[in-house]
Amino acid sequence: MMHRRRSDTPATAMSDLDLELVCRGRQAQPAMIAYARKKILAAARTAPAPVRFGQVKLTLEAHRSIERPARAQVLLDVDGRIVRAQSAARSIDEAIDLVDQRLRRRLRDARRKIEFLRQGRRHLDGAIGAEDGSGRKP
């Protein structure tokens, strides 16, 4: 059974997060959906730029032979930069907690990368401004 919901909760001060929740496998429980929404929205608030869109996929396999039947996958569009995280666990709550940790780590890495790129641009802007037109620095 597929279950889709969209959240109207603002994720950042700059924009509203369009969060799509997709549940596959066994019956989706409202508490599970609310828990996933709460965790992912909290993580999205730590994004280094406005989050334009988010998708959460929760999968519960019915087979007993699968060691980690619960999977959680998250995709966020952070101002044009795609940030993904996924996890597998024995329970859906555990999978959501793991994907939350991984998503926060990836958002932290994205923040560092953006800051690094901004510092590089400032450095280059200063170097270009110091040139006297001959291509050499004074």
Report the SS3 class of residue 4: strand
| Beta pairing class for 18-25 and 3-7 | antiparallel
Across-strand partners of 86? Answer: 73
- Domain CATH for 67: 3.30.160.100
Q: How far apart are CA 130 and CA 138, in angstroms?
A: 7
Determine if the pTM surpasses 0.85: no
90 or 136: which leads in pLDDT: 90
Give domain status of residue 123, yes or no: no
> Does 138 fall in a domain?
no
> Is 62 inside any structural domain?
yes
Which of 90, 56, 98 has the alpha carbon at shortest distance from 73?
56
Chain CA centroid to CA 137, Å: 42
Strand 18-25 with 51-60, pairing: parallel
Count how many residues are written for the chain. Answer: 138
Q: Which of 23, 112, 109, 10 is nearest to 52 (CA)?
A: 10
Domain span at residue 80? 3-106
Mean pLDDT, the chain, integer: 80
pLDDT tens, position by position, 23-81: 888 776 888 899 999 999 999 999 999 999 999 999 998 877 788 899 999 999 998 99
Q: If you average pLDDT over residues 77-101, what whole number do you get?
A: 95
Residue 10 has pLDDT above 70, yes or no: no
Give how many domains the chain has, as a whole number: 1
**Cross-strand bridge partners of residue 104:** none
